[in-house]
Amino acid sequence: MTARIAFQGEPGAYSHQACRQARPDMEALPCRTFEDAIEAVRKGEADLAMLPVENSTYGRVADIHHLLPESGLHIIDEAFVRVHINLLAVPGTRLEEVEQAMSHTVLLGQCRGFLKKHGIRTVTGADTAGSAQHVAEVGNPKLAALASELAGEIYGLDVLARHIEDRSNNTTRFLVMAREPDMTRRGDGPMMTTFVFRVRNIPAALYKAMGGFATNGVNMTKLESYMVDGTFSATQFYADIEGHPDDKNVKLALEELEYFSSAVSLLGVYPADAQRR
C-alpha cells in the first residue's frame, strides 16, 4: 500500500507542491481544512500531514499555532518551499487577451507590479488551485489564474508568464507531522526542537524562562505568543530552537524553562531544512 501525506487545499495547491518536493514517493491526499488533514493522520487514512506555518512575506499562517499543540501529532521534519506565482490560462490564450486574474487574496497582493503593468484586474478566489480549476472549467481566455505550475499541469492550463511575484525570496515554511515522534538525530546537519509553554504567574517570568537559553548558548529562531481559552490572561508561547533535547546546553535550558513555566509541551524534534543555512 502506498504511503500517503495529507495537505489542505485542492490538487495543485502550494501545499501539494510541498508534498511533492519533500515526500515525492508518497501519494498526496487533498483535504478541505487543516483540521481535516490532521484528522486524516490521526485516523490512519494518511501517514503524514504537510502543514504551512509561516510565509516570509505575510508572516505566520492564521490559526495553525492553535492547532499544532491540540493535534496529537508530532513534528518530524520541515520543508521550505519557494512560492513561484505563474499566470495560467486556457490553452491558446495570448497574454494580451487576459483582462482578469483570479487567486487567493494573499497571492493577488504578491504580484501587484506585473498585474498593473499589464492592466489585469484582480478577482478573489477561495484558493490558488481552486482558482486554476475554475479558470479551466469556465474556458474564458479573458480570465486567468495565479497559481503554481503544478496547478497548470493538473488542470491543463498554459503558463503565460512564470515567476511574476514581486519579491524573489517569497518562501513558505511547512511542518511535516506524524502520529509518533522521532527523537533520533537524522541527516548530517543540525537539529531543530519546537515546543509550546506557559510561564508561571510571577514577575518577570518570561524573562527568567528565556534566560536559560541565553546563558547556555542556545539559539532561539522563533518565539511567538498567542492567547488561549478565549481570555486575555492566558498566553501561550510557541518556540523553535536550534539543537536536540539531548544536547547538554539544550537540556539545561529546557530544565530552566520548566522551572519558570506552568506547562511545557514538546511538539517535535527534526532536521533543520538546508535552506536555513
Question: Which ranges of 111-200 would DSSP assign to H, the alpha helix?
Answer: 112-117, 128-138, 149-155
CA 43 to chain centre: 22
Amino acid identity, position 226: Y
Q: What is the mean pLDDT of the chain?
A: 93
- Mean of pLDDT values over 74-80: 97
* Number of domains, the chain: 3
Q: What is the CATH number of the domain that holds 269?
A: 3.30.70.260
Shared domain check, 219 and 195: yes
β-pairing, 235-242 vs 121-124, is unpaired
Q: What is the CATH number of the domain that holds 92?
A: 3.40.190.10
Give the separation between CA 159 and CA 135, rounded to whole angstroms.
13
Instruction: Select which of 7, 34, 114, 174 is catalytic.
Output: 174
Instruction: Select which of 7, 34, 114, 172 is catalytic.
Output: 172
State residue 175's pLDDT score. 97
Residue 143 domain-assigned (yes or no): yes
Shared domain check, 108 and 49: no
- Mean of pLDDT values over 45-52: 97
Which of 178, 205, 221 represents a domain boundary (last residue)? 178
Shared domain check, 174 and 68: yes
Shared domain check, 156 and 126: yes
Give the separation between CA 60 and CA 62, rounded to whole angstroms.
6
List the one residue out of 4, 2, 3, 5 whose CA is nearest residue 174.
Answer: 5
Residue 184 domain-assigned (yes or no): no
Dihedral pair phi/psi, residue 62, rounded to 5°: -55, 140
226 lies in which domain range? 191-276
Shared domain check, 53 and 174: yes
Q: What percent of the chain has pLDDT over 70?
A: 98
Query: Global pTM?
Result: 0.90
End-to-end Cα, the chain, rounded Å: 36
Our answer to whether residue 105 is catalytic in this structure is no
List the one residue out of 194, 206, 198, 209 whose CA is nearest residue 239.
Answer: 194
State yes or no: pLDDT of 98 exceeds 80. Answer: yes
Q: Tell me: the pLDDT tens digits for 219-273? A: 999 999 887 766 666 678 999 999 999 999 999 999 999 999 999 999 999 999 9
List the one residue out of 23, 160, 236, 101 whose CA is nearest residue 110.
Answer: 101
- Mean of pLDDT values over 61-66: 80
